């Protein structure tokens, strides 16, 4: 048999004729901006996630920004954010001149450590020093946990902290379409994001479902949804997107200096079709994770992802950790060898506290967040997506094994 040595990219979306036909339909209709496809996508998505209100926007970053604005986050407010996340989770706090207070990660799940969050909340309440917190502030007003890679944070603990300290719970669900968790009292699976005041999803090109660029904010609170809808389109009066349509009116009122965050119908035409296959995509990623778990089991020098009980992982990311001492190879060299072996990988993430902006403006050090700093030096994200062939899945496994064998001391 001929061996296929073509490069396996880190991610490839799975686009079918359904998406292409609906994008065609959208283009032929002459209505490209927010319109019927966007309304359909909002309806389908809120039904799928079982939330009352959905606001489609052009990114998850936009959704997070609108969510913080809607609940009333203002200059000088503090917001708890994991350091082990993507730029977006914290920058949106800065958009409002509020201050992101970084929290270290849990060793096993990489999620925001709720015990450390609790410790920070206690210290701030008793005016003790906490890294990154300025002298003048209005107190902690919200937290934005990220369900890292698609494994839910300890939601019950987060909810308890939010009620005790009167915080809004904005969940960054960029990796969670879909993911599930069970709590101790209720034995039923819940969708990750279901208990957030506002949950924000991403449809960026390499997320679990995609619209190229896109995002969605979900809530059960109609007032927040209205506010987000208005602010997503220049702060102008409701249903502004209809103003150039038959049902629309030319008249509008500016009620606030809003943003330009609305989703296009071209994107939504992709989204409605991707969402229909979200469960199939999920099963497919679960299957790949299962094959990796088996194929990479008990190898000296790497650690496989750890999944807690009561969790159904979305498997947006499959991350191995390279143990320098045992593998005889550094993470960076490991990545180079995988690339040379035809495997695309990525690193999730360079923690926020190691980036110049956060170091210089908030005075963070690597040892303020020992767990995140260590995880960062060890992680490699392997390809995991429904468009992977079995041959590609097994080539990833054999290449990882070869790299380990070659580097044995």
Ligand X SMILES: *Cc1c(COP(=O)(O)O)cnc(C)c1O
Residues that bind ligand X (CB under 6 A): 59-61, 85-86, 88-89, 146, 172, 174-175, 202, 204, 215
State the minimum distance, in angstroms, from the CB of residue 50 to ligand X. 22
Which structure tokens are listed for 206?
């390499």
Taking the CB of residue 220, how many other CB atoms lie within 10 A of it? 15
State the minimum distance, in angstroms, from the CB of residue 214 to ligand X. 7
- The sheet with strand 302-303 has its strands ordered as 302-303, 318-322, 379-382
In contact, 141 and 184? CB cutoff 8 Å: no
In contact, 291 and 304? CB cutoff 8 Å: no
| Alpha-helical segments (H) within 210-277 | 222-231, 265-276
- Chain position carrying tokens 């009122």: 253
Nearer Cβ to ligand X, position 175 or 331? 175
Nearer Cβ to ligand X, position 146 or 275? 146
| 276 given a catalytic annotation | no
Coil, helix or strand at residue 294: helix
Nearer Cβ to ligand X, position 174 or 196? 174
For the CA atoms of 190, 61, 371, 346, what is the dihedral angle to 10 degrees?
Answer: 100
| Residue in 177, 175, 227 with CA at minimum distance from that of residue 197 | 227
Backbone angles phi and psi of 189, in degrees to 5: -70, 135
| Helix and strand totals (H; E) in the chain | 14, 13
Catalytic residue, chosen from 190, 207, 312, 337, is 207
- The sheet with strand 311-312 has its strands ordered as 190-191, 180-181, 311-312
State the minimum distance, in angstroms, from the CB of residue 300 to ligand X. 31
State the minimum distance, in angstroms, from the CB of residue 250 to ligand X. 32
Nearer Cβ to ligand X, position 199 or 393? 199
Q: Which residues are within 8 A (CB) of 281 and not within 5 positions of it... i.e. 6 or more apart? A: 14, 208, 209, 274, 386
Nearer Cβ to ligand X, position 206 or 323? 206
Nearer Cβ to ligand X, position 59 or 273? 59
State the minimum distance, in angstroms, from the CB of residue 299 to ligand X. 27
| Residue in 207, 200, 76 with CA at minimum distance from that of residue 136 | 76
State the minimum distance, in angstroms, from the CB of residue 267 to ligand X. 11
Catalytic residues: 207
């Amino acid at each position: 048999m001929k061996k296929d040595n073509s490069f396996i990219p880190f991610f490839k979306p799975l686009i079918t004729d359904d998406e292409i036909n609906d994008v065609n339909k959208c283009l032929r209709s002459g209505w490209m901006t927010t319109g019927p496809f966007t309304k359909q996508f909002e309806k389908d998505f809120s039904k799928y996630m079982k939330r009352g209100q959905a606001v489609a926007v052009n990114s998850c970053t936009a959704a997070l920004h609108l969510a913080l604005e809607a609940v009333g986050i203002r200059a000088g407010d503090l917001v708890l954010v994991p350091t082990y996340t993507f730029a977006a989770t914290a920058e949106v706090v800065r958009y409002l001149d509020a201050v992101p207070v970084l929290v270290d990660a849990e060793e096993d799940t990489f999620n925001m450590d709720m015990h450390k969050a609790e410790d920070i909340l206690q210290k701030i309440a008793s005016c003790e020093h906490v890294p990154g917190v300025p002298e003048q502030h209005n107190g902690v007003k919200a937290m934005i946990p990220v369900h890292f890679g698609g494994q839910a944070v300890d939601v019950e603990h987060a909810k308890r902290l939010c009620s005790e300290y009167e915080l809004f719970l904005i969940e960054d669900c960029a990796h969670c379409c879909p993911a599930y968790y069970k709590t101790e009292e209720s034995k039923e699976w819940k969708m990750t994001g279901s208990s957030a005041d506002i949950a924000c999803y991403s449809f960026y090109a390499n997320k679990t479902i995609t619209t190229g660029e896109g995002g969605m904010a979900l809530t059960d609170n109609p007032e927040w949804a209205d506010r987000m809808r208005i602010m997503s389109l220049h702060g102008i009066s409701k249903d502004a997107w209809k103003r150039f349509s038959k049902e629309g009116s030319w008249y509008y009122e500016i009620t606030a200096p809003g943003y330009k965050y609305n989703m296009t119908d071209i994107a939504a035409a992709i989204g409605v079709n991707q969402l229909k296959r979200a469960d199939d995509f999920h099963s497919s990623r679960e299957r790949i994770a299962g094959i990796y778990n088996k194929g990479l089991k008990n190898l000296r020098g790497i650690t496989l992802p750890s999944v807690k009980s009561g969790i159904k992982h979305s498997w947006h990311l499959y991350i191995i950790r390279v143990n320098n001492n045992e593998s005889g190879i550094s993470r960076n060299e490991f990545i180079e060898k995988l690339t040379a072996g035809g495997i695309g990988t990525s690193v999730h993430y360079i923690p926020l506290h190691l980036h110049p902006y956060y170091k210089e403006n908030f005075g963070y050090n690597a040892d303020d967040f020992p767990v995140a700093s260590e995880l960062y030096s060890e992680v490699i994200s392997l390809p995991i997506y429904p468009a992977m062939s079995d041959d590609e899945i097994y080539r990833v496994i054999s290449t990882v094994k070869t790299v380990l064998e070659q580097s044995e001391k």
